Structure 1
Amino acid sequence: MTDPNRSPITLLGTGAMGTALGRAWLAAGHPVTVWNRTAARAQPLAAEGATVAATAAEAVAASRLVVACLLDDTSVGKALDTADLTGRDLVNLTTGTPADGRARAAWATGRGARFLDGGIMAVPPMIGAPDSGAYVFYSGSAELFEEHRDALAVPAGTVYVGTDPGFAALHDVALLSGMYGMFAGIAHAFALIRGEDIAPKEFAPLLVSWLGAMAPMALQTAEQLESGDYRTGVASHLAMQVAGSATLLRTAEEQGVDAGLLTPVLDLMRRRLADGHGDEGTTGLVDLLRAG
């Protein structure tokens, strides 16, 4: 049942994530108007009390706060092409790049709307689930964020990262990139033991514990990047790590494992060492990546 004290919300996009967002707002009593290009996909939310608009423009007219959760940035532009955004607060939770966020902010502002971009750090089952750890990065209009903070916090936690509209996507992609690097290491580790008399379920806790112990290295990397001193606190310097990397490659060869997930980072380490930075840790790889 909707609560008259809760702000109305328009939701554009009722895919898996959009439906999860809409369900959380409905459960909290917000009047929700939804639109989806394929109308049938909006019916589950209609059954829970949402109003289904025939067009995106009609949906936008229903609420000051408009949340887009569509396929991509192009879809956002197409959906809102004929909508009157004057006086609207547009929150874009569609996955995109920092450049997408900045361009869409300029586009929305030019059409009379305030704009906030978002990066969702969750999968749909985490949305609206207490203590799931789900949160959303937001960047753009600080005034919009403060005014709608409570409503935005209903589906997931909120983390405002600045007025630059590209920062939410940048934080999102940076964390996801770190995640995929970890996934690569996990895949390689399991490939090494695959086919041996080592049970994956017995090996997995060892891997989780080791990765957990290594993760705080990110804090040291941040300190070194800010200080400009890449030597302080280094326990295993680059020269030692490069020398030891030969064992990693030989072991992969012996186990019949493609080392393609390891060689890019090992190549960067050798380049940094060749440039005379053997007494550093791996923070200098950041500079190599920035240099191209």
Structure 2
Amino acid sequence: MDTTKNDAVDAPTTSTEDLNVTVLGTGLMGGGIARTLAAAGFAVTAWNRTPAHAEPLRAYGVSVEPNLAAALADADVVLVVVYDAASVMDVLERGIGAAPAGAVWVQMATIGVEESRDVARFAETKGAHLVETLMMGSKDQAENGALTLMAGGNPALFDQADPVLQAISVKIVHCGESVGSGSVVKLACNLWLACITSAACQSVELLKGEGVDPQLFLDVISGMTTDSPYAHLKGGKAITGDFSAQFEVNALLKDLGLVGEVMARRGFRTDLLDRQKALYDEVRAQGHGHDDVSAVALAFASPRDTPGLS
């Protein structure tokens, strides 16, 4: 089921003032989500493994709590926005006992399909209520409540979390009633994201190499059936050379590795995936792991256009 804010659905009966939200992880995505929820009127508490990284959120009305147990003590909804499966398991193992029994845990990190199922089984053994909502969107969408969420898990648990999820998203796609279903959809989407980014950046660099204005590529596809807002976003960054991170190369490579795990389990051919991994690995090796995925343009740049090369 695909739920957008424009759908004619009943509004949630729970007001923002009635829900305490704890955000675990305040990186590019978690920090933006915490700010969005605070602006929407929720009581938001943020925790980060490195407390100093969460401190700037205080200026946006977010309560920053360096102690994990204290951060979870009054939570109605817990958003887990950490980096990988090990981090998710760490906060669950240390935090489940500190949260109220009725809290709904929303796992939002891209951690893989089997890993998501492991997390769900662990939560169940501890009597915790856990669902997943994987995210499509980057830092800007997180800060503006414009994420697309891929949900998996018990539909009944989403009722309590719904006001929170609606506040941070423009669309919620329900992928299945088991945790893991949203994860596999997210991985498929991130493979597409990798491909469209590298394709747009290669087209930009081709025109640069021929001495032609690369903006013409984006002008031509604009409004066509082949158009994509993401091509304009990442192609635009390739044109300007602004690789400030919205979605880091390191994070995409982590996700592509998870795609590979699914493919290997299914015996699925990996030639397209392998080529994408090689391209992003190349720019990471050049020192761009923490830059935006549009830095893949550097894999296609001619030597005279690439900083540090001759």
| 1:33–1:62 Cα contact (<8 Å) kept | no
Matched residues in 1 for 2:117 and 2:156: separation?
17
Cα separation, 2, equivalents of 1:154 and 1:169: 21
Please identify, of 141-150 and 200-209, the stretch whose mean Cα deviation from structure 2 is larger: 200-209
Aligned with residue 41 of structure 2, among 29, 36, 45: 29
Normalising by structure 2, we get a TM-score of 0.62
Q: Does 1:104 align with 2:116?
A: no
CA shift, 1:10, in A, is 1.0
Give the SS at the match of 2:102: coil
Change (3 A) 1:209 1:172: same
- Mean CA deviation greater in 28-37 or 180-189: 180-189
SS of aligned partner of 2:106? strand
Residue 198 of structure 1: how far off its partner (Å): 2.9
Opposite residue 290 of structure 1, the aligned amino acid is F
Partner residue of 1:124?
Answer: 139
3-state SS, counterpart of residue 137 of structure 1: strand
CA distance in 1, matches of 2:224, 2:16: 51
Asked whether the 8 Å contact 1:33–1:50 carries over to 2, the reply is yes
Q: Which amino acid aligns with 2:194?
A: Y
The structure number with the bigger radius of gyration is 1
AA aligned opposite 1:203: F
Closer, same or farther: CA 4–71 of 1 in aligned 2, 3 Å: closer
1:197 deviates by 4.7
Change (3 A) 1:34 1:193: closer
Q: Point out where structure 1 has 5 or more consecutive residues left out of the alignment.
A: 215-287
CA displacement 1:8-66 (0-9 Å, x = unmatched): 11111111211111111111111112211111122122233222223212222221211
Does residue 1:290 correspond to 2:268, yes or no?
A: yes
Q: Which residue of 1 aligns with 2:32?
A: 20
Which of 190, 198, 214 aligns to 1:184? It is 198
Q: Aligned to 1:62, which of 74, 88, 93?
A: 74
Pairwise CA distance, 1:205: 2.2
1:206–1:54 CA distance, 2 compared to 1 (3 A) = closer
Residues 165-244 of structure 1 correspond to what in structure 2 (within 5 A)? 165-208=179-222, 212=226
How far does the alpha carbon of each residue in 1:97-142 deviate from its partner, in whole angstroms, 9 at most, with x for none? 1112111111111111111112111112112526x5x311111121
Counterpart selection for 2:129 from 101, 114, 124: 114
**Counterpart residue number, 1:152:** 165
Query: Partners of 1:141 and 1:76 in 2: how far apart?
Result: 19
Contact 2:104–2:160, Cα closer than 8 Å, also in 1 = no
Q: May I ask how many residue pairs the two structures share in their alignment?
A: 216
Structure 2: 5+ residue stretches without partners? 1-14, 229-265, 271-310
Bigger drift between 92-101 and 18-27 goes to 92-101
Q: CA deviation digits over 1:220-267, x for unaligned, max 9?
A: xxxxxxxxxxxxxxxxxxxxxxxxxxxxxxxxxxxxxxxxxxxxxxxx
